[in-house]
Every structure is written in C-alpha cells, then in structure tokens.
Amino acid sequence: MATRCQFENSNDVGVFAKLTNAYCICALGGAENFYSVFEAELSDHVPVIKSSVAGTRLVGRLTVGNRNGLLLPNTTSDQELTHIRNCLPDEVVVQRIDERLSALGNCIACNDYVALIHPDIDRETEEIVADVLGVEVFRQTVAGNVLVGSYCAFTNQGGLVHPKTSIEDLDELSSLLQIPLVAGTVNRGSDVIGAGLVANDWAAFCGLDTTSTELSVIESVFKLRDAQPMNIVNDLRASLIDTMA
C-alpha cells in the first residue's frame, strides 16, 4: 500500500525517514503525525524507531541500509550510534564508516541483494558495503547523475528511477538489478525520487503532493497491491510517457 504523508509541511519523505524490510528509522522532532503514519502501517511487522543522525533530521539521506545492516556516516555521534544499535534487532549490523562522501543515502542505493554506488566512493567503503549489507555492489550512474541514491529508489520487487533515464540505461540497470524498473516522478513532478519516497517490499510512503497517476505507478512497480506488471502497459499506458524525445 502506498501512503501519502508529510514531514512538517515538506513532501520529501525520503529525507526524513529510512525504510527497509527489517526496520524503519524516522527523524526526531517532527509532528507526531508523521511518526504515527509510519507506525500504523509498519509497527506490526518491524520496529519503527526515532533518531537523529549527526544531530540532524536527515536520517534518510545520511544513512543507507537493508535487512542485513545499516551504515552510518562518520559524523554520527556515539549516543546516536548506541541508541540505534539498541533499538534495532540483533541481526542488523550497525556500522559507522569513514567516508568522504558522508551523505550515504544520496550516494548509495540498495535492496537486500544489490547495491548501486556513487562512482567516486572509496574502495574500502565499497568493501564494507558489500560486507555489512551483504550485497553485490555496482558503480553506476542514473540518467547521467552520480547521486544514485537520490535519483532512484528500489526494493526487492521493483524500482523507480529518474524520469529522464534513457531506455538503454533502463535496460542496463534492470538487468544489473534483476528487477523491473520504471522511469517516473514523485511529488507532482519532482525528479529526486530517493528524497521523495521510501519503500520496502510491502509499503511505500510519498509526499502529499503526489498525484494519483504517480501513486499508481509506484504501487505497480513496487508490487504493493495485487497488480500484474502488465497493468503498466495496459491500464496506465495512456498516462505514461515511454520516451522523452
């Protein structure tokens, strides 16, 4: 189920929350509304915790994680690290890494099996990502943008990428990730997908401005309802743009 919500009047839900199949981290300090939307959907299945990272509310953009682990930037304080470690289940390995590109959520996009990373990330970080998150790592760009974490969002079921991604790129990424991908927008035309929505295998959250077409595409590609992939071709065809000529 895809749900619309807002964090303090901002539609960029992916900035203030990190959602995976094993846990969800929300930013501190927002209205309880935001937190309760997440709890309503998720708390039966996974722990939903509130934390800050590096003293900021940008938990979505500074951290990256999946079912197996969570990576935090070097700016995370010790208390935050301990707090997060305590709240998350033991199977999830929490590690703080030293990386120049400290906005990990912007530079790395991953699901439980594959990760795409910013082309300039250090070798050591790449190894840690492969190790802690248990994924296969690929250095890639999305629509010519190096910030893979910002411009795409994917789960084990499917993914949404920057609207200006070419067909060839889409095919290449799709075969790398082994999941169906769709180029689209979120939050009424915003192309920063990673900041605009968060998703896991059974739930997705996006901003209040998201149009119903965008929401249907999200629900379709992430397989959040009983939808056949062919629906994108059949029902939604008229509202979708295949190529940007």
Partner 1 sequence: MPKRKAEAQLKREKVEEEEQPEEQRKAAVDDEGDDAKDDDGKADDDSSDEGESNDDEDEDEDDSDDDDSDSDDDSCPDASASEAESDDDEEGEAYKEVNVQFEFFDPQERDFLGLKALLNTYLDGQQYDCSGLVDAIIRQTAVGTVVKSSEEDDPFAVLTAFNTSRGPAAGSSWLGQLRSYLRDHCPDEATRGKLDKARTDRRIQSRSGQTYMDWTAFQDRLDDGPLLCLSSSLGGGAATGAFSDAGTALLVSERLINCPPQLAPPLMQMLMEEIEGAARDEDYPAEEREEFAFRRYLHVTRVYTDTLEGGEAEEDGENGSAGGAGGSGGSNLNKSSFRGKKGNGGAAGKEQLVVYVRPEDEYLHQVCSWSFTFPLEGRPVAKGDLRPLRAVMCVSAERVGEARAMMDLVVGNMMAEGAEGGKRVDKAREKAGGKGL
x/- string (CB under 8 A) for partner 1, residues 180-209?
Answer: -------xxxx-x--x------------xx
CB of 231 to partner 1, least distance (A): 25
Query: How is residue 210 written in tokens?
Result: 């998201």
The single residue listed with the structure tokens 């149009």 is 211
C-alpha to C-alpha distance for 117 and 199, rounded to whole angstroms: 18
C-beta separation of 18 from 24 below 8 A = yes
If 0-12 CB within 10 Å is exposed, 13-18 middle and 19+ buried, where does residue 155 land? buried
> Does the footprint of partner 1 cover residue 152 (CB under 8 A)?
no
CB of 197 to partner 1, least distance (A): 14
Of the candidate residues 3, 75, 95, 145, the single one contacting partner 1 (CB under 8 A): 145
Dihedral of CA atoms 27, 28, 31, 36 in degrees, nearest 10, equals 60
C-alpha to C-alpha distance for 3 and 197, rounded to whole angstroms: 10
Which of the residues 40 through 99 are near partner 1 (CB under 8 A)?
Answer: 56-58, 61
x/- string (CB under 8 A) for partner 1, residues 104-143?
Answer: --x-------------------------------------
CB of 188 to partner 1, least distance (A): 5
CB of 25 to partner 1, least distance (A): 15
C-beta separation of 53 from 233 below 8 A = no
Residues that bind partner 1 (CB under 8 A): 8-10, 12, 15-16, 56-58, 61, 103, 106, 145-147, 150, 187-190, 192, 195, 208-209
